């Protein structure tokens, strides 16, 4: 309200990065430390999202999720998750014995399970289309194929250096890319996803002590070749380092996906390639060999050769291998004009 809003998008369309390369799951808020931004925003945002999808007729469904313990040593971790979730305000969870869970899902094998009725799935593309319509109806301008390549933050305000994305495509590493336009916004929100941290480092005058290191973890998904889904709920193992485990996700068309796994990337991509989203999204078919053993812990009837390469996504993270998971970071910059929304790149 009262502002002229310009969204600068380096790609030729919206949502081509993390927004379209994920599980399309509406989470309940179970895993996060109490009073963290992740917990507060997930619990509040979940209900806002269901309400928005219902009002706008965006395809979605509250399928529910079972988090399963397949070994004796894991059952105590379920109790910890239940306590953490209650502290976060998630009050509809139900602890179940394995027999109860397996009655709900005959193909499932587990000793104990935690049922989350509020977890669901959403058509992320339809959701983004609706958000796009909202923005345009309110007068926002979207400039596609346009990249912010650098900028300056000072007492006199903000200066953004902008170029057509095609100018970045043939640049030589180490050579400067000259801006074609200089934009002078009153307010800047850095929501550049995978590029958020590299872009922040290119804003001259922004204290780099406040720019966290970037870590990237690729996750691959494999689809189940059989047509009929063996499950009616989402099935999740207990969380692992860098992710929440190779889980069963159903989409609104009934496709069954397993994933994502965790593969830490070296993060050595140059900035311009990062701005152009030149990350390697290929799915190596041989990675499925590691999927079978993990999935069969809770789905023992998974047949050999039934998994097919699906797609991959890349998680931008503020914590690396072996480190404690970081919370979202939202920073307000100098003169209250620069907001660094790291939460946008931590899905």
pLDDT tens-digit map of 192-212 = 989 999 999 999 999 888 899
Residues 217/319, Cβ–Cβ less than 8 Å: no
Q: How far apart are CA 267 and CA 265, in angstroms?
A: 6
* CA geometry: angle 275, 195, 291, nearest 5 deg: 105
Name the burial class of residue 102, with classes exposed (0-12), middle (13-18) and buried (19+) by CB atoms within 10 angstroms of its CB.
middle
Give all strands (DSSP E) within 196-297, no chain letters: 203-204, 215-224, 234-236, 247-250, 256-259, 263-264
pLDDT at 340 over 60: no
Q: What is the DSSP letter of 131?
A: H
- Residue 336 has a pLDDT of 43
Strand partners, 264: 217
Which candidate, 203, 181, 204, 183, places its Cα nearest to that of 192?
A: 203
- Residue 179 has a pLDDT of 93
Q: What is the pLDDT of residues 53-74, one digit of tens each?
A: 999 999 999 999 999 999 998 9
Please give the model's pTM, rounded to 2 decimal places. Answer: 0.90
Residues 309/43, Cβ–Cβ less than 8 Å: no
Q: How far apart are CA 99 and CA 108, in angstroms?
A: 10
345 pLDDT band, cuts 50/70/90, is very low
Give all strands (DSSP E) within 278-347, no chain letters: 307-317, 330-332, 338-341
Structure tokens at 248: 């069963």
Q: Spell out the alpha helix ranges (H) of 177-304.
A: 196-201, 271-275, 288-295
Distances (CA, A) of 12 to 8, 135, 166, 234, 274: 11, 17, 10, 33, 15
Q: What is the mean pLDDT of the chain?
A: 91
- Residue 330 has a pLDDT of 85
């Amino acid at each position: 309200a009262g502002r002229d809003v310009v969204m600068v998008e380096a790609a030729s369309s919206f949502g081509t990065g993390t927004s379209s390369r994920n599980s399309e799951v509406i989470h309940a808020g179970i895993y996060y430390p109490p009073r963290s931004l992740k917990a507060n925003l997930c619990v509040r945002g979940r209900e806002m999202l269901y309400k928005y999808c219902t009002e706008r007729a965006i395809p979605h469904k509250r399928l529910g999720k079972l988090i399963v313990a397949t070994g004796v040593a894991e059952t105590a971790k379920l109790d910890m998750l239940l306590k953490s979730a209650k502290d976060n305000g998630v009050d509809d969870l139900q602890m179940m014995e394995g027999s109860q869970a397996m009655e709900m899902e005959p193909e499932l094998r587990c000793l104990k399970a935690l049922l989350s009725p509020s977890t669901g799935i959403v058509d992320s593309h339809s959701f983004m289309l609706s958000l796009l319509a909202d923005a345009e109806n309110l007068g926002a301008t979207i400039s596609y194929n346009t990249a912010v390549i650098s900028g300056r933050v000072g007492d006199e305000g903000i200066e953004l250096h902008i170029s057509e994305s095609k100018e970045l495509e043939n640049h030589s590493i180490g050579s400067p890319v000259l801006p074609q336009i200089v934009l002078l916004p009153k307010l800047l929100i850095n929501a550049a996803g995978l590029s958020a941290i590299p872009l922040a480092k290119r804003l001259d005058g922004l204290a780099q002590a406040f720019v966290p290191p970037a870590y990237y973890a690729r996750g691959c998904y494999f689809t189940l070749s059989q047509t009929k889904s063996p499950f009616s709920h989402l099935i999740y193992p207990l969380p692992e380092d860098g992710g929440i485990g190779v889980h069963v996700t159903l989409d609104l068309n009934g496709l069954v996906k397993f994933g994502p796994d965790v593969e830490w990337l070296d993060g050595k991509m140059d900035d311009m390639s990062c701005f152009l989203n030149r990350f390697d999204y290929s799915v190596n078919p041989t990675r499925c060999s590691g999927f079978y053993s993990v999935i069969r812990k809770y789905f023992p009837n998974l047949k050999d050769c039934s998994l097919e390469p699906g797609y991959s996504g890349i998680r931008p993270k503020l914590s690396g291998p072996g480190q404690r998971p970081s919370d979202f970071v939202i920073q307000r910059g100098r003169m209250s004009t620069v907001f660094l929304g790291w939460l946008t790149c931590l899905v």
